[in-house]
Amino acid sequence: MTMYKPEVREALANRGDGVLMNRPTVLFVDPDAQRFALVVDHLRSRGVSLLVVKDPNGAPTPLPTAAAAVLGLAGTNGRRADLVRAWRRADSQLVLICGVEPNPEAEAEIVAAGADEIVGRPYSPAQLESAVRLGLETRRLREEVRRLQTLGAARQSFEGLVGGSEPALSLYRLLEQVACNDEPALILAEPGVEVAAVVEAIHARSERRQGPIHRLAGEAATPGELARLAAPDGPGLPQAGTLWIEGVHRLGLEAQSALFEQTGHYGLLGAWRLVASTERDLLEMAHEGLFQRALYYRINVLPIRIPPLRERIEDLPLLAADRLRRLANGRSTPKRLSFHALLALVAHPWPGNVAELEAALQTAAEQAAGDEINLENLPNNIAAQSAAQTRGSASSRSLRTAKQDFELHYFRTLLSHTRGNMSMASKISKVGRPYLYKKIREHALNPEDFRAA
């Protein structure tokens, strides 16, 4: 049991449990706490339940009920970073707001030790209130990340595909339907998405699952090879499986004609069920004379669009955990992502999709010395972007500007995840719809723009 100093025990005894149920609790630790009575009174008047402690050197282990702590680091005799690290070890979820005299070296030291936000001493009421509210929002986001990591109610996988977001669930439902018949399917996907896993899922759920998947690159699909596969005594018969033409847009014009002729009215190539994939707009290629329009309609009976990672970014914690388990391959304990590393991954735009994520995780896992992957273990383009944002928040931008930037990113991401559904956005953000509409208008966002995305 933690042994608190007398002043802490008194604060605990007087705090009132009813307040904790309705208001966030913040621990205020500063040797000059009496100087900031006006600040303390202001925070309490704004709905924050504040516990005040004067001695940072003798500060207790962070309280289990505290959501954030303001740690004044004046007069700590060079032990500032040690104190921050100790508090971070004691409670990895606690939001640490550290007050220091303006000094770039001191700020960098405290951020490296684990501080979430830096504020200059002496504090002004408005300055500290903004920092606390931003810190509490950070805490809420941390808890949301933990919730996403431990999702249990939603379906999170489908034949090797991982994700519990609505775009992922919609894809699973579509694949169930596609697997139930032998009509040709055309997969449209950006580079780096899980095309092979989608083909394998269709095959595994179909009646052809006892047969093979024959993977044929578009440039290798010559008229002769297509005729060989379509022959009555061709390979794979009588129990042919799924023929996957990877990169069907790379078929030559002669091969396109051969494929159209060989597939026939039912779209089968001999006894093979046809699944084609492409990264190109085949109709646009048809307009340019590079792809046969008749073949496009023949193979596009069941269109499948795989959502890129940026459209289902809420799946990233699950995807990352799955890929880290695969990297461990049962030989060791899978590495885990630190909170800041995970935030950096979520903020990245992922132009290379899941393939880029897998490469980033492999690099990070190889560089991490322990079981946890930290921000500095990530590839430079991801870590540097996040570090630049952190430095900007701590030094080059005002707290008000940092808060506005944070809100803009948060609400844009929220609307993207919910596709402009304000009821869902209200439930996720845990704020009322009137306030949500107000904030969205402040940042010139329109839910309709995200519904069409």
Looking at residue 410, its pLDDT comes to 75
Looking at residue 398, its pLDDT comes to 54
CA–CA–CA angle 171, 172, 175 (5° rounding): 85
Instruction: Tell whether the model's pLDDT for residue 144 goes beyond 70.
Output: no
Helix (H) or strand (E) holding 274: strand 273-278
Residue of 431 and 16 predicted with greater confidence = 431
Task: Determine the Cα–Cα distance for residues 271 and 275; give it in Å rounded to an integer.
Answer: 13
User: Using N-to-C axis directions, what is the helix angle for 125-149 and 316-328, rounded to 10°?
Assistant: 60
Q: What average pLDDT does the segment 38-49 reach? A: 77
Q: What is the DSSP letter of 269?
A: B
Q: Is 243 helix (H, G, I), strand (E, B) or coil?
A: strand
Name the pLDDT band for 156 (thresholds 50, 70, 90): confident
Lowest-confidence pick of 94-98, 237-241, 302-306, 380-384: 237-241
Half-sphere exposure of 229 (CA within 13 A, CB side): 28
Q: Which CATH architecture describes the domain 310-451?
A: Orthogonal Bundle (1.10)
Question: Among positive and negative, which fits the CA dihedral 89, 92, 94, 95?
Answer: positive
Residue of 422 and 389 predicted with greater confidence = 422
Instruction: Tell whether the model's pLDDT for residue 2 goes beyond 50.
Output: no
Instruction: Tell whether the model's pLDDT for residue 14 goes beyond 60.
Output: no
Q: Which DSSP string corresponds to 344-410?
A: HHHHS--TTHHHHHHHHHHHHHHH-SSSEE-GGGS-HHHHHHHHHHHHIIIIIS-HHHHHHHHHHHH
- Our CA dihedral for 118, 124, 130, 131, rounded to 10 degrees, sits at 20
Instruction: Tell whether the model's pLDDT for residue 415 goes beyond 70.
Output: yes
Mean residue pLDDT of the chain comes to 79
The residue among 75, 74, 35, 67 whose CA lies nearest residue 51 is 67
Lowest-confidence pick of 38-42, 153-157, 429-433: 153-157
Ordered strands of the 242-246 beta sheet: 213-217, 242-246, 273-278, 185-188, 302-305
Which residues are registered as beta bridge partners of 391? none
Domains 6-149 and 157-307 share a fold: yes
Let me know: does 250 contact 210? Beta carbons within 8 Å.
Answer: no
Cβ contacts of 275 within 8 Å, gap of 6 or more: 184, 185, 186, 187, 199, 202, 242, 243, 244, 245
What is the pTM (predicted TM-score) of this model?
Answer: 0.59
Interior/surface letters 306-331, b for 16+ CB within 10 angstroms, e for the rest: bbbbebbbbbbbbbbbbbbeebeeee
Render pLDDT for 48-74 as a digit per residue (tens, 0 to 9).
777 777 765 555 555 556 677 777 776
Looking at residue 176, its pLDDT comes to 92
Task: Determine the Cα–Cα distance for residues 399 and 407; give it in Å rounded to an integer.
Answer: 12
Interior/surface letters 395-407, b for 16+ CB within 10 angstroms, e for the rest: eeeebeebbeebb
What percent of the chain is modeled with pLDDT above 70?
80
CATH number for the segment(s) 157-307:
3.40.50.300
Cβ contacts of 106 within 8 Å, gap of 6 or more: 80, 100
The residue among 23, 28, 69, 10 whose CA lies nearest residue 49 is 23
CA–CA–CA angle 132, 6, 131 (5° rounding): 5
Render pLDDT for 370-385 as a digit per residue (tens, 0 to 9).
889 998 899 988 887 6
Let me know: does 195 contact 228? Beta carbons within 8 Å.
Answer: no
Render pLDDT for 82-136 as a digit per residue (tens, 0 to 9).
888 888 787 777 788 888 777 777 777 888 888 887 887 777 777 777 888 787 7
Lowest-confidence pick of 44-58, 128-142, 263-277: 44-58
Indicate the domain borders of the chain. Answer: 6-149, 157-307, 310-451
CATH number for the segment(s) 6-149:
3.40.50.2300
Q: Is 312 helix (H, G, I), strand (E, B) or coil?
A: helix
Instruction: Tell whether the model's pLDDT for residue 427 goes beyond 50.
Output: yes
Instruction: Tell whether the model's pLDDT for residue 437 goes beyond 50.
Output: yes
